[in-house]
């Protein structure tokens, strides 16, 4: 579980990153979850853009994503979700 200071640190890192995934009308398919899992394993911090044609309840979608990928929701801002999962050999050193 991330504390406030750690979430602020991760949000500052995510600020300069571009969203590498887009979630559209297809929603959370097994393939999509697998791709996010792989990205979290490689980079630890993943930014996902939810398209207007995508799911309308962002909180529900973000918590489902976090549960299915065993990650944590760092931030939901606008239609963008930021997820974090600590890697086996951490690249991001949390404060």
Predicted confidence at residue 55, as pLDDT, reads: 84
* pTM (two decimals): 0.92
Predicted pLDDT of residue 89: 83
CA distance 46 to 56: 20
Determine how β-strand 21-23 pairs with β-strand 80-84. Answer: unpaired
Residues 75, 36, 49, 84, Cα dihedral to 10°:
20
pLDDT value of position 63: 95
Print pLDDT tens along the chain (95 aa). Answer: 899 999 999 999 999 999 999 999 888 899 999 999 999 999 999 999 999 998 888 999 999 999 999 999 999 999 999 999 998 888 898 98
């Amino acid at each position: 579980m991330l504390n406030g200071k750690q979430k602020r640190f991760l949000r500052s890192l995510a600020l300069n990153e571009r969203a590498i995934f887009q979630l559209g009308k297809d929603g959370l398919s097994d393939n999509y979850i697998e791709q996010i899992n792989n990205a979290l394993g490689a980079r630890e911090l993943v930014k996902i853009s939810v398209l207007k044609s995508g799911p309308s309840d962002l909180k529900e979608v973000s918590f489902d994503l976090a549960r299915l990928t065993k990650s944590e929701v760092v931030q939901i801002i606008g239609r963008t979700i930021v997820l974090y999962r600590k890697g086996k050999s951490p690249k991001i050193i949390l404060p």
